[in-house]
Structure 1
Amino acid sequence: MGDLDNCCRVSGEAELALVDSVLDEFSSLCARVGEVSDDERDQFSLAVSELLTNMITHGETDDASGVRINACLCVRPDRLTGTLSDTAQEAEVVLDGVRMPDPMAESGRGLAISTMILDSLEHTTDTGNVWSFWRSRGH
């Protein structure tokens, strides 16, 4: 299989149903590609779910057009990779020192969980927000 065969792409409105669509496509990709353990798939999916949920929950636009999200997740021989981009206002995000909140806190776990799971997580802005990330295979 070529590199393009090892990726799934999903686009849609920033609604919680999009999380399930992205995770379903990634699960199908893993089954098609093979050689992706359940643990690898589940850990990566958890990080993707947390990032997407944050984008959906916190993404805002200046107009009534709504926020759109594009997801691209890939299976590589040595790592699982992802890029999530949106059309929301650019967010100021500081990833250094992200920690789990107090156990009684009602929110704030998404980035902390993602940084614990992923080997690399970067946030950039370019007419929206772009999250690029990867997790080594065989953890």
Structure 2
Amino acid sequence: MATPESSVVLETTTGPDTLDAVQRTLDALWAAHEVDEMVRIHMDLAAGEIAANIVEHSGGGDAVRLRMEATLDGNAVRTTFLDDGHPSPVDLTEVRMPEELSDRGRGLAIAHRVLDELSYRRDGEGNHWTLVRSLTP
């Protein structure tokens, strides 16, 4: 079970400062615990990509409520996002890197590549994203 020191939470409404708030939240977790630099970089990158997709797509141009929780849990860092926006049409089994000259569509592929687990589900509360990265580099 996570202790208060091993878990950080962000509750916000999406807007221009959301990505900075996501990074500050992760920075608070990293400041409180020794975590390998590559693990931190991978989680920072993946969480930023998922948060950017939520900000850009989930509200259809409107702000959505967003809850993020990052936890050091056993041998992994787990970050979850919950938003009350539109359902995501994504099929994570089909995520691939786009054409080289494409200027969009890399975020999920990058997150998928640097994480040990990336999952999405939709229920009555909204969109749930789970990102897991082993603490072992």
Q: TM-score, normalised by structure 1?
A: 0.89
2:55–2:63 CA contact under 8 A, matched in 1 = no
Partner of 1:138: 136
**What is the distance in 2 between the residues matched to 1:38 and 1:4?**
22
**What is the distance in 1 between the residues matched to 2:58 and 2:43?**
22
1:8–1:73 CA contact under 8 A, matched in 2 = yes
Partner of 1:124: 121
Residue type of the alignment partner of 2:120: H
Percent of counterpart pairs with the same letter? 27
Where in structure 1 are there 5+ consecutive unaligned residues? none
2:22–2:51 CA contact under 8 A, matched in 1 = no
- Secondary structure at the counterpart of residue 17 of structure 2: helix
Matched, 1:106 2:108: no
Deviation, structure 1 residue 100:
0.6
**What is the distance in 2 between the residues matched to 1:3 and 1:119?**
23
* Counterpart mapping for 1:19-98 below 5 A: 19-33=19-33, 35-60=34-59, 66-98=63-95
Number of matched residues?
135
Residue type of the alignment partner of 2:10: V
Deviation, structure 1 residue 134:
0.5
Where in structure 2 are there 5+ consecutive unaligned residues? none
**What is the distance in 2 between the residues matched to 1:122 and 1:95?**
7
Partner of 2:4: 4
Deviation, structure 1 residue 78:
0.5
Deviation, structure 1 residue 39:
1.5
1:16–1:53 CA contact under 8 A, matched in 2 = no
**What is the distance in 2 between the residues matched to 1:84 and 1:25?**
12
Deviation, structure 1 residue 65:
7.4
CA distance 1:98–1:39, change in 2 (3 Å): same
